Structure 1
Amino acid sequence: MTDCLFCKIVSGDVPAEIVRESAGTVAFRDINPQAPTHVLVIPREHHPTAAELAAADAGLLAEVVREAHQVAVDEGVADGGYRLVLNTGAQAGQTVFHVHAHVLGGRGLNWPPG
């Protein structure tokens, strides 16, 4: 999609601090981090929400989750624990409608968030 911020990151038209790439995904640092480690993992293909990605390509959704875990390993937060968040829909806080998994870690993450 030509007007999607994350599609522009995938194409290289918008710069981002890329930390990991796979055949189907790109992972980059969030520009407004909510934890010491805050990385977004996105599919290269445009899918607006996690539910739509799951319906269209469950294998790609699994790749997003695998890559998110590898980001946590690479960032040194996997052993202590990390949060994986997929906001789906505006009421859940999704602001960019290209599915993305937030990998958050590096400090205690209380529940509920906020």
Structure 2
Amino acid sequence: MKPALLSDNRRGPAQIWNSAPQLAQIPAINPATLVPKGARVVIIAPHPGDEVIACGGLLQLLSTLEYSLQLISITDGSASHPGSTVWPAKRLSVVRPQESVEALRRLGVPLHSLKWIRGGFA
């Protein structure tokens, strides 16, 4: 897999990371090494959205390879802004899962092809 490069000429964190010689020494991992064919992929995230932040690229790749995907979100994300009048818990409990759905859609992960358990804890 080739490192992603930004199109402008700035040397931000991505360019520094991508040009690190140590990165070239890391062997590529075959998806079948991580998840043998026929096995189910289970991603457990503490909050909605964390599954995409931590494993978005992996979810996209494994979905493309037609692996069975199981997502587990422990909380509903409603406690992320305690005391906020702009983002009260009731609003966040609705918005956070919607953010995850939109992120997965943008990654091209078909929602009908995965199972999603939402723990519903605050």
Same fold (TM over 0.5): no
Provide TM-score, normalisation by structure 1. 0.30
Q: Which has the higher helix share?
A: 2
TM-score, normalised on structure 2? 0.29
Q: Relative contact order, CA 8 A, sep 6+: which one is greater? A: 1
- Compare CA radii of gyration and give the structure with the larger one: 2
